Amino acid sequence: MLLARASSDLEDLATELRASGHRVISEALDLADPESIAPGLDRLCDQGGSPDVVVNNAGMAYTGPLLDMALDQWQTLIQLNLTAVFQVCRSVVPRMRANGGGLIINVSSHAAHNAFPDWGAYCVSKAALASFSRCLATEERTHAIRVSTLTLGAVNTPLWDSETVDSSFDRRAMLDRERAADALLYLAQQPATQVVEDLTLMPAAGAL
């Protein structure tokens, strides 16, 4: 099952996966819109069933002095980086419980454990996500639902091209998306009898 904001990206990936013999169900959904999340996930799961693994990987960043940030930008960032994860879990976890368990992987950042000038809102959102993951893991353990966090350093993605980010980081020194995907696959392939609670992957150059 695939979920993303852009239907064109979904269709390209779905076509590629179907050509490899996979059954693919997809749903275009903007996680920045809180009212659309539960209905969209219901449509997706009604077609595809309860997921065994859920990867929460949507997010955005904003650079600038923390207290100069407009309230609507703060609310959008918190919605996408934190509240949407809560909403996704609230929709899918009951299905996972009924199906005997599963794994939730939340993609976070080393900003969860550090404070960087002009990245305050992003740091706050990722620190809250790390706490949410720990709390969810504790509460859902008796339902055989495991929670992993993939903590990443800077990854070379289109996030760095977004209008809300102003950065001069050397993107050649960043992690590439394929290595981050490999880490997600590693977490997803852990047997049901164990869980990697937090896997941290950083560029060799360190924090950029």
CA-based end-to-end distance of the chain:
34
State the catalytic residue, choosing from 122, 126, 132, 155: 122
Is residue 189 exposed (0-12), middle (13-18) or buried (19+ Cβ within 10 Å)?
exposed
Opening angle at CA 42, ends 33 and 149, nearest 5: 70
* Both structure tokens of 201: 């992957």
Catalytic residue list contains 122: yes
Q: List % helix, strand, coil for the chain (3-state, nearest 5).
A: 50, 15, 35
By annotation, the residues acting in catalysis are 122
